[in-house]
Amino acid sequence: VSNAGVGMAGPLECQSLAAMQSLMDTNFFGLVRLVKEVLPDMKRRRGGHIVVISSIMGLQGIVFNDIYSASKFAVEGFCESLVVQALRFNVAISLVEPGPVMTEFETKLYEEAERADYSRTDPETAEIFTKLYLRNSKDVFASLGQTPEDIAEHTLRVIEAPRPPFRHQTNVAYTPMAALKHADPSGALVTDAFYKLVFKYDAVLRLGLR
């Protein structure tokens, strides 16, 4: 089970390349290093199961989560490319894709965001992040967030499945979001929907979550 991960949220201009590279080293290359270690023996045994804790953000990018989403997209692409070869050797790969999970991980992320220096971005972007994103995000976690124990139960079900699924989303509230992206290959539908949620109907979104 590959579960190591770090988060990053905020305006792109405020994040250093060194911090981005460090995140990718944990979230993506950490997984790659693990798989390189365990896969050869699984191939020799002709059996095994690699379970990867991914994220719904590996399927749909979320505003102000550019680098974190990119790391999870990389995880998804890596596993999707590898799974066909792995199946030849009777090795299963499963992606567990949670939405928001209520842990110290998120608490720390909010604390860092609230005391961050936004002088490297424009005032409008800084205000959108601090006044809209952080507020809406807290409402999302309060309303839709799962406990770590819930994610553990989902992961156990994936591990124990007679035929392990390649993808397993833990929160049904996010199924429409993933479906919306696939409904329109041009991307216009989901982009327009998210733009309106963030910039036009954010008050309605918060009210609905509460």
- Catalytic residue numbers read 68
Dihedral angle at the C-alpha atoms of 178, 114, 26, 164, nearest 10 degrees?
-30
182 Cβ contact list (under 8 Å, min separation 6): none
Q: Two tokens at 51?
A: 């379970």
149 Cβ contact list (under 8 Å, min separation 6): none
Q: What is the spatial distance between Cα 159 and Cα 193, in angstroms, rounded to a whole number?
A: 35
What separation in angstroms does the CA of 110 have from each of 49, 65, 100, 137, 138? 34, 13, 13, 9, 9
